[in-house]
């Protein structure tokens, strides 16, 4: 078994053994540097192939709930690519295309843009720059958006989570009117704010209810009335387990591939007691392979939207 230099130095002269295993049972303590330590069980995953489709996290909430602000912070810290459905629409308006003119009319009236237009812009953005994980804020806004996504996007990406930032109407109105002083957005005015909030209640809330009722619901609700910093901490607590699972899956795939290259026939391994630490765009995992010791360590770094294995000394 190949060990990292750090482990080899600390465990010199200890012998190793390789025993055949036929399944993967995962349990252990997970630690990360951006939330409190806690115990959890990793889910088993296939070790015969690497999933190529990117993961998507929907970020929903009323107008002014802070979707864009929180997504930008997550993007800056963890390297998750942020796609704002609203920003993509505004960019199209600025292009002065026929679609842009149509979008402008919808936004001025506080109405939801047709799904064909929104999905076309989102799909183009995802396919133009492949990434491992996307934050999409402001979509799906209604049942039509949801049905369009379920019909057209499953072959492009996998939905990982639905985050909803909850906030009351009075606070949302206060924030938007304050933002409108400097934003220059045509929809940041009192009349449109009222219509946008009503649209959220009548059209987007049923979408959230749909996700809530699903078996193994992916919906996570965050109290958006808190300070910006506290909302961000709560969102990170929700996201980190999924990111840790991703690192575990990548490590499992790497260990299996390494074992196959050396032994030729092994197709699965049993990894025990994984400890995953994520700091920004760097992740470190310490783990045991059952029947082989001592523990090994692998370091991963997010580069251009993809996790790359790197030297422990980099």
Number of domains in the chain: 2
Note whether residue 238 is domain-resident: no
> What are the C-alpha distances in Å from 121 to residues 103, 126, 308?
12, 9, 29
> What pLDDT is attached to residue 210?
97
Q: Kindly state the tokens that stand for 211.
A: 């996700």
In a domain, 236, yes or no: no
Query: Domain limits at 76?
Result: 55-225
Among 198, 225, 252, give the residue marking a domain's end: 225
DSSP class of residue 168 equals: -
Q: Give the model's pLDDT for residue 180.
A: 79
Instruction: Tell whether 194 and 114 lie within a shared domain.
Output: yes
For residue 237, being part of any structural domain is answered with no
In a domain, 231, yes or no: no
φ/ψ of residue 292, rounded to 5? -130, 140
pLDDT for the residue numbered 22 = 28
Do residues 63 and 209 share a domain?
A: yes
Q: Are residues 129 and 206 in the same domain?
A: yes
Do 202 and 248 share a domain, yes or no?
no
Query: Is residue 76 one of the residues assigned to a domain?
Result: yes
Q: Are residues 29 and 81 in the same domain?
A: no
pLDDT tens, N- to C-terminus, the chain (314 residues): 443 333 333 332 232 222 222 233 333 333 334 433 333 455 654 444 445 799 999 999 998 899 999 999 999 999 999 999 888 998 999 999 988 999 999 888 878 888 999 999 999 999 988 899 999 998 999 999 999 999 999 999 999 999 999 999 888 888 888 887 887 777 777 787 888 889 899 999 999 999 999 999 999 999 999 999 999 999 999 999 999 999 999 999 998 888 888 887 766 678 888 999 999 999 999 999 887 767 899 999 999 999 999 987 66
Same domain? For 12 and 63 the reply is no
- Identify whether residues 39 and 70 lie together within a single domain: no
CA distance 306 to 10: 31
34 lies in some domain: yes
């Amino acid at each position: 078994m190949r060990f990292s230099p750090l482990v080899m130095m600390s465990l010199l002269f200890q012998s190793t053994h390789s025993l055949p295993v036929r399944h993967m049972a995962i349990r252990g303590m997970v630690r990360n540097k951006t939330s409190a330590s806690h115990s959890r069980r990793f889910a088993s995953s296939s070790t015969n192939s690497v999933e190529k489709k990117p993961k998507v996290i929907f970020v929903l909430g009323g107008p002014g709930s802070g979707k864009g602000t929180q997504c930008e912070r997550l993007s800056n810290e963890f390297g998750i690519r942020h796609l704002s459905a609203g920003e993509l629409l505004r960019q199209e308006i600025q292009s002065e295309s026929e679609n842009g003119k149509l979008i402008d009319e919808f936004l001025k009236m506080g109405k939801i843009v047709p799904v064909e237009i929104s999905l076309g812009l989102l799909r183009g953005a995802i396919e133009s720059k492949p990434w491992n994980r996307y934050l999409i804020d402001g979509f799906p806004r209604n049942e039509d958006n949801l049905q369009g996504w379920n019909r057209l996007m499953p072959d492009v990406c996998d939905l990982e989570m639905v985050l909803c930032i909850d906030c009351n109407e009075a606070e949302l109105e206060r924030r938007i009117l304050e933002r409108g002083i400097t934003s220059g957005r045509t929809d940041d005015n009192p009349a449109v704010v009222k219509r946008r909030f009503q649209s959220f209640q009548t059209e987007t809330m049923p979408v959230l209810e749909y996700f809530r009722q699903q078996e193994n619901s992916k919906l996570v609700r965050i109290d958006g009335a808190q300070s910006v910093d506290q909302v961000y901490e709560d969102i990170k607590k929700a996201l980190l387990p999924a990111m840790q699972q991703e690192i575990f899956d990548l490590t499992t795939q790497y260990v299996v591939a390494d074992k196959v290259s050396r032994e030729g026939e092994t197709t699965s391994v049993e990894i025990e007691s994984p400890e995953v630490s994520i700091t920004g765009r760097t992740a470190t995992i310490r783990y045991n392979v059952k029947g082989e010791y001592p523990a090994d360590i692998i370091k991963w770094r997010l580069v251009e939207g993809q996790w790359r294995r790197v030297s422990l000394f980099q």
